[in-house]
Amino acid sequence: MGLQIVRPDTQINFLKLRYGAFVFSALLILVSIVSLVFKGGPQYGIDFSGGMIIQIKFEQQTDLVQLRQSLEKTGLPGLVVQRFGMEGDNEYLIRTSALGLTSDAVRGDVQSILEQDFPGQMFEILRLEMVGPRIGAELRNQAMEALFYAILLVAIYISGRFEQRWLPAAIMAAGLTGGFTVLKWLGLPMELLLVAALLITIGLCWKLKLIYALGAVVALVFDVFITFGIFSLLNKEVDLAIVAAFLIIIGYSLNDTIVIFDRIRENIRAKADMSLPQVINLSINQTLSRTILTSGTTLMVVLSLVLLGGGVIHNFALALLIGISIGTYSSIFVASPILLGFAKITDVDLEAAAAKHEPAST
């Protein structure tokens, strides 16, 4: 028997807590929407918005306010100056939306101003990166498409594995891909296109009664959206590294959800005398020890990266910390209650679906 940190006979009534969890989830969604609307959407990094990023290292500690005032003399538009790495590193990150300027010209202007305003202080421009607006827009669109197709493939996989309904899943994929192509041809902004495509995905899951897929997709969308919202609240930028973190979050959260769904499917077949709410509660309790162990150990590693990993991977690690925490929560308090609710509303026979599978241990 594997390591158990939760008693095997634990009987926590998770579904009894689902209404409070729904209120909490709705509050998170509302706060995220308000923040994103108030701030005009996600704060995109240089990778997606275009512009320049400059990293400077000083030999001695330098006042951030004085540095910002000094760099404003360069006239670079959209100037943002912030500390980078640990406080003792004396490194600073400068972002500007400047376009149409050469990197040599910007480097020369910055160096000249700093030499004038900080005489006697040694500093070094460690890097200067430039991304054009067209490349940034293309990268942003491709990143959002990657998130969308990742969630679509999840819906297809869940439908086939848990309900043996590959044909409806294929119909959903074909319809959604066609709809996505048409909306893209109409020239909708990628952000609006992605929202529309996700709503179509959820609608098709509902219409085709792909209940397991519906629960998993809603949970995954919730995970990514709340992480977006928290990044907006913290004024953190979204770049390619953060999109990579979102894809990792989708995979990690999906793994948690599959473990619980698999146990639910087994117990539906093995516990014919139990109601569906009882089966779901039993299944969550049976997998609780594994959930705590896997999530807990992963979060300890990610927290170490957040605190000690330095500025280069700080936002990436922070996204993982938020996403994995939310993903663990959503597997229990979003995906499973949605499975219960929509199974009742659509009158889907989950027992018949479970009978098509041989029991598989988790």
CATH of the domain at 324: 1.20.1640.10
Q: How many CB atoms lie within 10 A of CB 167?
A: 11
Cβ(188)–Cβ(151) under 8 Å?
no
Q: How many CB atoms lie within 10 A of CB 124?
A: 11
Regarding whether 107 and 22 lie in a shared domain, the answer is: no
Residue 22: predicted pLDDT = 92
Regarding whether 300 and 199 lie in a shared domain, the answer is: yes
Q: What is the pLDDT of residues 57-101, one digit of tens each?
A: 888 888 888 888 888 888 887 777 888 777 677 888 888 877 677
As a whole number of angstroms, the distance between CA 338 and CA 323 comes to 20
Regarding whether 269 and 209 lie in a shared domain, the answer is: yes
For residue 6, what are the CA distances in angstroms to 80, 106, 180, 267, 295? 48, 59, 45, 19, 14
Amino acid at 8: P
Regarding whether 200 and 237 lie in a shared domain, the answer is: yes
Residue 202: inside a domain: yes
Residue 22: inside a domain: yes
Residue 82: inside a domain: yes
**Which of 64, 97, 131 is the last residue in one of the domains?**
131
Residue 289: inside a domain: yes
Residue 148: inside a domain: yes
Residue 188: inside a domain: yes
As a whole number of angstroms, the distance between CA 294 and CA 252 comes to 10
Residue 223: predicted pLDDT = 92
Characterize 190-212 residue by residue with b for buried, 16 or more Cβ atoms within 10 angstroms of its Cβ, and e for exposed.
beebbeebbebbbebbeebbbbb
Range of the domain at 119: 51-131
Q: How many CB atoms lie within 10 A of CB 236?
A: 20
Residue 23: predicted pLDDT = 94
Residue 360: inside a domain: no
Q: How many CB atoms lie within 10 A of CB 75?
A: 10
Regarding whether 272 and 315 lie in a shared domain, the answer is: yes
**Which of 112, 131, 150 is the last residue in one of the domains?**
131
Regarding whether 298 and 158 lie in a shared domain, the answer is: yes
Regarding whether 140 and 23 lie in a shared domain, the answer is: yes
Cβ(122)–Cβ(61) under 8 Å?
no
Regarding whether 293 and 150 lie in a shared domain, the answer is: yes
Regarding whether 184 and 230 lie in a shared domain, the answer is: yes
Give the chain's residues under pLDDT 50.
1, 359-362
Regarding whether 83 and 139 lie in a shared domain, the answer is: no
Residue 6: inside a domain: no
Regarding whether 317 and 211 lie in a shared domain, the answer is: yes
**Which of 79, 106, 131 is the last residue in one of the domains?**
131
What is the number of domains present in the chain? 2
Regarding whether 318 and 179 lie in a shared domain, the answer is: yes
Q: What pTM did the predictor assign?
A: 0.79
- Residue 115 maps to which CATH number? 3.30.70.3400
Residue 354: predicted pLDDT = 53
